[in-house]
Chain A
Amino acid sequence: MIAATRNYLVFLRRCARIAFVGDWRYYAWMGGLTVVCLLGLNAYAKQLVDGLAVTGMSDEVSWGVYIANFTFLVGVAAAAVMMVIPVYIYDNDELHDLVIFGELLAVAAILMCLAFVTVDLGRPDRFWHLIPGLGQMNFPRSMLSWDVIVLNGYLVLNVHICGYLLYCRYRDRRPAKWFYIPFVFTAIVWAVSIHTVTAFLYVGLGGRPFWNASIVGPRFLASAFTAGPAIIILALQIIRRYTHYRITDKALLTLRGIVQVSMIINVFLLVCEVFKEFYSGTTHGASARYLFVGLHGYHALVPWIWTAVGFNLVAMVILVMPVSRSLRWLDLACVLSITGIWIEKGMGLVIPGFVPTPLGAFVEYLPSLNETLVCLGIWAFGLLAYTVFLRMAVPILQGRLARTNEHLPEIQGDEPEVPVSR
């Protein structure tokens, strides 16, 4: 027991240590992210003092880019299952050793989600009111309380799965199936639930016809399963370039298949939504009209949504053509999909739900500089977290950081990263 604890502590210490060593590119990247993080922290400190008035939000548009980014990132987190399903259900070998990178991305994304909801609170000092037992959680009536549970649950599941598998690899032991397989399958269902519950946050509001549509849930999943794997495709190529970790093109092309199908479904659901809003011509289509063509002289979101639609369509065309088997075109399609869907979730979903107000007033929204800095800070924090996770995971998976080499010299970071034969 004592030896086991000691081994685990040594493992944690060595993991923590390696996060702080690397070559000059690693320091430059981490230093840059830290600077952006601190700028964001500074902006948040100002917001704590002066209140949410430093944002662009108002009583009319009472949620903005914080909640938009939150929504987008829940999707990214949920998309980790799109790597898990092929591996654990269809026994796809190409992705087998890569699935952990998807799960680590999910962990980083959930951390960012939690940060985004926290900065959106007017009274973050009262967060404990949400803790069951200690405070007053309105469960099961409030969808927000469901979201708190599913997001934290998903975080715990993924931290457990990644942590356990990495530790086993470090010890060079076979993972005990009963100790992670049930959690992997739970996480698959759970991933769908986090994005569904997040969609229900909006869908459940009868007073906001733009959100009160059953298509929002399916659209969330389709767009998440496009943007999430697209991010993973890009991340895997970066990992491959900087670590010599074995990642095959075939694995990337498997993910391409997922992005391809999801994007087609996403665009189809968009068409369904646009048709319903415009053809029926009811007053409930006011938000959609404001979003796509402008209404009563207000059209701040029009350029945003058409950019998103354009990006999504171009990405879809590239993805369905054979040309996207070449990585350069695939990467372009991924960048377009990610950007398009990010806009669609933020400027395209959250903001128009508030315009016009339920009393028919038109007040537009633009994020303030301070608000933007907070967002950038959280994104930098997420990238920082993901980089650290990878910095720990890759040497463990390569066998360069293992129990057996505990007494050998530690990795300094600036030695050449040689490909390890496995």
Chain B
Amino acid sequence: MNASPSNSSDKTSDAAMSRRSFLRGAAAFGGLTALAASLAPLLKLHEFTSTEEFLQKYYKEMTPDDMARVLRRITAEVEREYGVRPHVRDLKPMDGVEFIYALNLTRCIGCRKCVHACVAENNPSLNPEIQYIRVLKMPHGSMDVEKGDHTYADKEVPEKGFFYMPVQCQQCKNPPCVKVCPVNATWQEKDGITVIDYDWCIGCRYCEAACPYWARRFNFTKPEIPKDRLNPDMAYLGNRPRKQGVMEKCHFCIQRTRVGRYPACLEACPVGARKFGNILDPESEVSYILREKRVFIQLKEEMGTSPRFFYYFDK
């Protein structure tokens, strides 16, 4: 440190210098201690990400070998975390298949069995519980969702004068959520399902803001699933357990539908209100419904999203 020539011989100035150096040293030490103290909560952060997960490639750029390694990592992680050995697969879309959902609003009684079957199938967090399907209790004569009751707790359903409208991801042909994702972590597959790579999502929640159907859900904290409630039959783009800080949503039960089974919500429906199938197959039930039923609705059609989820009435 340069002392000024005019007062370098001044003893008080030297004393001031050393006092200043001391104070600076003390301030630096105090500052570093405070910094360490403020970062102390990070000590609890042991399993945030592994090197392998951190460096994992983008889904569409993975070779089959890469994917095999990733599936092994996920299997090991799930086994360590839940004590259950899962069967995780990377299921690809089938050729000549485009999935369509049709929901009969005349039949739906609002029992929410679909909601709970979905939760049991798809391994979302149970605490806090994440649900992909929201059932709206709507007064007769309106399709305005703002008139819907989200939290009805009637002892018996259906109540006279109301109809019930379950809403989940509409698997749009023109999905606003895919367009806005800054990192391509969500995209539409050729069978029409919009998927999310949970290992690529940065958690900005722009897709959640963009969705006109409020179909997306965010893991605001570490998901909790008791081991006896874990569904071990898993798909990479489907129901494998998610981590804190990523988005998820309905994916038409990829782990079931891509191997020829029905979605869990459909199987749980006690009144047969839910129909699912391949629109490219003219013999399928959904093809028949869209061809023959006179009234069907795409929710918020004016958004231009062109949903693959159709609502219809019988009469």
Residues of A within 8 A of B (CB): 20, 31, 34-35, 38-39, 41-42, 45-46, 48-53, 55, 57-60, 62-63, 117, 120-127, 129-130, 135-138, 141-145, 148, 201, 204-208, 283, 286, 353-354, 356-361, 409-410
Shortest A74–chain B CB gap in Å is: 16
Q: Are B217 and A125 interface neighbours, CB within 8 A? A: no
Residues in B169-216 with C-beta less than 8 Å from chain A: 176, 179-185, 200-206, 208-214, 216
Q: Give chain B residues whose Cβ lies under 8 Å from the Cβ of A205.
A: 176, 180, 209-210
Which of A38, A117, A126, A409 is the one whose CB lies under 8 Å from B3? A409
Q: Are A357 and B214 interface neighbours, CB within 8 A? A: yes
Known: A39-B38, A45-B40, A59-B217. A122 touches B45 (CB 8 A): no
Task: Report how far A387 CA is from B146 CA in the complex, Å.
Answer: 49
Q: Are A130 and B182 interface neighbours, CB within 8 A? A: yes
B49 in contact (CB, < 8 A): yes
B262 in contact (CB, < 8 A): no
Residues of B within 8 A of A (CB): 1-5, 24, 27, 31, 34-35, 37-42, 44-45, 48-49, 54, 58, 128, 134, 136, 144-148, 150, 167, 176, 179-185, 200-206, 208-214, 216-222, 244-247, 300, 303-305
Shortest A126–chain B CB gap in Å is: 5
Q: Give chain B residues whose Cβ lies under 8 Å from the Cβ of A144.
A: 180, 182, 204, 206
Task: Report how far A122 CA is from B5 CA in the complex, Å.
Answer: 56
18 additional contacts, CB 8 Å, given A206-B212, A360-B136? A42-B40, A48-B48, A49-B44, A49-B45, A50-B221, A51-B221, A57-B220, A120-B204, A122-B202, A126-B54, A130-B182, A130-B202, A142-B180, A144-B182, A144-B204, A208-B209, A356-B146, A360-B147
Q: Give chain B residues whose Cβ lies under 8 Å from the Cβ of A20.
A: 24
Task: Report how far A123 CA is from B136 CA in the complex, Å.
Answer: 32
| Chain B: CB-nearest residue to A143 | B180
Q: Give chain B residues whose Cβ lies under 8 Å from the Cβ of A122.
A: 201-205, 218-220, 244-247
| Chain B: CB-nearest residue to A144 | B182
Task: Report how far A283 CA is from B142 CA in the complex, Å.
Answer: 13
Q: Are A38 and B38 interface neighbours, CB within 8 A? A: yes
Q: Are B222 and A135 interface neighbours, CB within 8 A? A: no
Q: Give chain B residues whose Cβ lies under 8 Å from the Cβ of A59.
A: 208, 214, 216-218, 220
19 chain-A/chain-B pairs, Cβ below 8 angstroms = A41-B35, A45-B40, A45-B41, A45-B42, A53-B221, A57-B220, A59-B208, A122-B245, A123-B203, A125-B54, A130-B183, A130-B202, A135-B183, A136-B183, A144-B180, A206-B303, A206-B304, A207-B212, A359-B148
Q: Are B148 and A42 interface neighbours, CB within 8 A? A: no
Q: Give chain A residues whose Cβ lies under 8 Å from the Cβ of B37.
A: 38, 42
Q: Give chain A residues whose Cβ lies under 8 Å from the Cβ of B45.
A: 48-49
Known: A63-B205, A205-B176. A125 touches B210 (CB 8 A): no
Q: Give chain A residues whose Cβ lies under 8 Å from the Cβ of B128.
A: 53
Q: Are A206 and B146 interface neighbours, CB within 8 A? A: no
Known: A59-B217, A123-B202, A129-B183. A42 touches B146 (CB 8 A): no
| Chain A: CB-nearest residue to B45 | A49
Q: Give chain A residues whose Cβ lies under 8 Å from the Cβ of B206.
A: 142, 144, 201
Task: Report how far A41 CA is from B179 CA in the complex, Å.
Answer: 33
| Chain A: CB-nearest residue to B2 | A409
Which of A31, A39, A358 is the one whose CB lies under 8 Å from B212? A358
Task: Report how far A300 CA is from B179 CA in the complex, Å.
Answer: 32
Q: Give chain A residues whose Cβ lies under 8 Å from the Cβ of B203.
A: 52, 121-123, 126
Which of A39, A48, A52, A138 is the one whose CB lies under 8 Å from B182? A138
